[in-house]
């Protein structure tokens, strides 16, 4: 197979206007600790937009995934709240859910789709037998508020990557615990450079076979799900590997691999306690033929797992720059953590592999359980593939300005659980989504939904 020039695009999830702190994600300590707090959707979305603009200013291609429509009233009605149609029925359903099951009300409003790293698993065309770019949207069955976003993600990816001669958007895996799939947050691709065939690393926390499992928090990624995706994406057997995440770190709050390890191209940075059988993994990488592969291990003595989770240092974005260097975009919380700050400083000053570290303010997102890497889905595309995507999701200067104005006009700067029972808020949201269709160039994307 000939090697085509390719670039890694960052598709960031644009934080939705219903961003709230409901603490719905068991095992995500930041999410649980901020349950019930008042959120600021406007600040969250604008912080995310600033991160996207920074990546673009670094000379890297940047796109975005628009927010899904919320609330999902039909789901609430399927759960026995209300009946009939119209504003009065909706008002009754919202009020009844607020009184009887506030966690379900928060779920149908959830903006968790903002965590684009969970949107799908992506295999670049250089790795697949048919030479196409493959996507499998995550089923996210471990949590109700996330599982209900899977169908919307599938619909969105089909709209963006619509050219079937270049792209394959697979359907979601069956919604069962045995095939629990959380997407690219548990998937890494090691290659000498974008566009060249690589080794895809699927990190899992649970499997049907007899392995040691976490006891405090659930393991969200099932090995059988990753195996199914590898088959569907037509990956050659010597081009992927299954790697078990340490059950001890899951119990310490590491709910996804991207909370304990990060990678891009030939570089991987991981905590020493991240994986089971890491020696076998490193040995395989050394035999893989990938040029200049570098594995940097962060010692527990320098950074205990609890501090890694608190600071989200491994949820930084590790990016390969056009000049061949690497940059880390770290959450501002890492600068406030003495240990995390020292680790990042040493990566630049001692290891010399990382060119620079930039600290970002994504505090609104961090309080809901995700940092810079959670907010983006990586998609490696050739020039032909990039030219074939829906252009309305590319972050041009014009789109940045339009999105900034749209957020400033339609988002609230204060949102609490009680606001979610108000049908007037639903009206505000419908107006916002209709306006966004014009910015995206996607007529009917929101208004044709029930």
Q: According to the 3-state scheme, what is the secondary structure of 370-403?
A: CCCCCCEEEEEEEHHHHHCCCHHHECCHHHHHHH
What value does the mean pLDDT of the chain take? 92
Report the C-alpha gap between 327 and 316 in whole angstroms: 10
245-270: average pLDDT: 95
Closest by Cα among 384, 383, 378, 382 to 189? 378
- Kindly state the DSSP code that residue 275 receives in the 8-state scheme: B
Sign of CA dihedral 430, 431, 436, 441: positive
Which CATH number does the domain housing residue 356 bear? 3.75.10.20
Question: What pLDDT score does 212 carry?
Answer: 86
Q: Give residue-wise pLDDT tens across range 169-206.
A: 999 999 999 999 999 999 999 999 999 999 999 999 99
Report the C-alpha gap between 255 and 253 in whole angstroms: 6
- Residue 320 vs residue 35, higher pLDDT: 320
Does residue 180 lie in a domain region? yes
Q: Give residue-wise pLDDT tens across range 145-174.
A: 999 999 999 999 999 999 999 999 999 999
- Residue 37 vs residue 439, higher pLDDT: 439
Answer for the pair 291, 332: CB distance below 8 angstroms, yes or no.
no
Six-digit token string for 301 = 């003595």
Six-digit token string for 107 = 């779920």
Does residue 410 lie in a domain region? yes
Sign of CA dihedral 369, 93, 428, 86: positive
Question: What pLDDT score does 2 carry?
Answer: 59
Q: Give residue-wise pLDDT tens across range 330-374.
A: 999 999 999 999 999 999 987 778 999 999 999 888 887 789 999
184-218 burial, b at 16+ Cβ within 10 Å, e below that, comes to: bbbbbbbbbbbbbbbbbbbbbbbbeeeeeebeebb
pLDDT tops 90 at residue 280: no
> CB burial class (10 A; 0-12, 13-18, 19+) of residue 404?
middle
> Which residues touch 84 (CB under 8 Å, ≥6 apart)?
none
Six-digit token string for 323 = 């000049």
User: Tokens 């949201």 map to which residue?
Assistant: 429
Does residue 102 lie in a domain region? no
Using pLDDT thresholds of 50, 70 and 90, give the confidence band for residue 83.
low
Does residue 78 lie in a domain region? no
Q: Give residue-wise pLDDT tens across range 237-252.
A: 888 999 999 999 999 9
Question: What pLDDT score does 27 carry?
Answer: 53
- Kindly state the DSSP code that residue 196 receives in the 8-state scheme: S
Question: What pLDDT score does 31 carry?
Answer: 53
Does residue 79 lie in a domain region? no
Using pLDDT thresholds of 50, 70 and 90, give the confidence band for residue 218.
confident
Phi, psi of 119 (to 5 degrees): -65, -40
Using pLDDT thresholds of 50, 70 and 90, give the confidence band for residue 25.
low
Does residue 23 lie in a domain region? yes
Number of folded domains that form the chain: 1
**How many percent of the chain have pLDDT more than 90?**
79
Closest by Cα among 200, 267, 260, 250 to 227? 200
pLDDT tops 90 at residue 260: yes
Q: What angle do CA 160, 56, 262 make, to 5 degrees?
A: 85
Q: Give residue-wise pLDDT tens across range 106-121.
A: 999 999 999 999 999 9
Does residue 345 lie in a domain region? yes
Question: What pLDDT score does 87 carry?
Answer: 63
pTM: 0.95
- Residue 209 vs residue 387, higher pLDDT: 387
Does residue 308 lie in a domain region? yes
Q: Which residues are catalytic?
A: 182, 256, 374
Helix or strand or coil: residue 93?
helix
pLDDT tops 70 at residue 273: yes
Report the C-alpha gap between 347 and 372 in whole angstroms: 18
Six-digit token string for 68 = 């899904």
Taking each helix axis as running N to C, give the angle between helix 423-440 and helix 397-410, from 0 to 180 degrees, rounded to the nearest 10: 170
In terms of residue numbers, what domain contains 424?
A: 6-70+110-440
Using pLDDT thresholds of 50, 70 and 90, give the confidence band for residue 23.
low
Phi, psi of 86 (to 5 degrees): 95, 175
């Amino acid at each position: 197979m000939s090697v085509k020039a390719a670039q890694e695009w960052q598709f960031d999830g644009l934080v939705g206007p219903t961003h709230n702190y409901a603490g719905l994600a068991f095992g995500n300590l930041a999410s649980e600790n901020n349950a019930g707090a008042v959120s600021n959707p406007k600040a969250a979305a604008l912080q995310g937009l600033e991160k996207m603009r920074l990546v673009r200013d670094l000379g890297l291609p940047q796109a975005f995934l628009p927010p899904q429509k919320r609330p999902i009233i039909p789901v609430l009605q399927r759960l026995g709240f209300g009946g009939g149609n119209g504003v009065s029925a909706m008002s009754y359903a919202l009020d009844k859910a607020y009184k009887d099951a506030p966690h379900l009300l928060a779920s149908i409003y959830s903006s968790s789709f903002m965590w684009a790293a969970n949107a799908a698993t992506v295999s670049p065309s250089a790795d697949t037998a048919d030479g196409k770019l493959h996507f499998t949207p995550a089923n996210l069955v471990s949590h109700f508020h996330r599982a209900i976003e899977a169908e919307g993600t599938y619909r969105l990816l089909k709209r963006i990557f619509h050219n079937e001669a270049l792209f394959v958007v697979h359907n979601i895996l069956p919604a069962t615990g045995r095939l629990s799939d959380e997407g690219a947050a548990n998937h890494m691709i090691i290659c000498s450079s974008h566009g060249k065939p690589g080794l895809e690393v699927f990190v899992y926390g649970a499997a049907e076979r007899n392995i040691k499992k976490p006891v405090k928090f659930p393991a969200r990624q099932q090995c059988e799900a990753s195996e199914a995706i590898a088959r569907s994406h037509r990956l050659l057997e010597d081009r992927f590997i299954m790697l078990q995440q340490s059950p001890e770190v899951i119990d310490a709050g590491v709910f996804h691999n991207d909370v304990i390890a990060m990678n891009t191209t030939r570089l991987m940075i991981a905590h020493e306690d991240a994986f089971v059988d890491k020696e076998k993994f490193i040995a395989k990488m050394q035999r893989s033929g990938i040029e200049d592969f570098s594995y940097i291990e962060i010692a527990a003595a320098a950074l205990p797992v609890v501090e890694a989770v608190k600071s989200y240092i491994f949820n930084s974005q590790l990016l390969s720059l056009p000049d061949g260097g690497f940059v880390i975009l770290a959450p501002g919380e890492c600068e406030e953590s003495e240990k995390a700050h020292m680790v990042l400083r040493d990566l630049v000053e001692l290891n010399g592999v990382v060119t620079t570290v930039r600290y970002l303010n994504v505090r609104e997102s961090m309080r809901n359980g995700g940092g810079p890497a959670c907010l983006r889905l990586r998609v490696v595309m050739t020039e032909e593939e990039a030219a074939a995507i829906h252009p309305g999701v590319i972050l041009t200067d014009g789109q940045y300005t339009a999105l900034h104005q749209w957020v400033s006009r339609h988002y609230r700067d204060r949102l609490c659980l009680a606001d979610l029972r108000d049908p007037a808020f639903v009206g505000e949201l419908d107006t916002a989504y209709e306006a966004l269709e014009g910015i995206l160039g996607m007529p009917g994307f929101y208004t044709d939904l029930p």
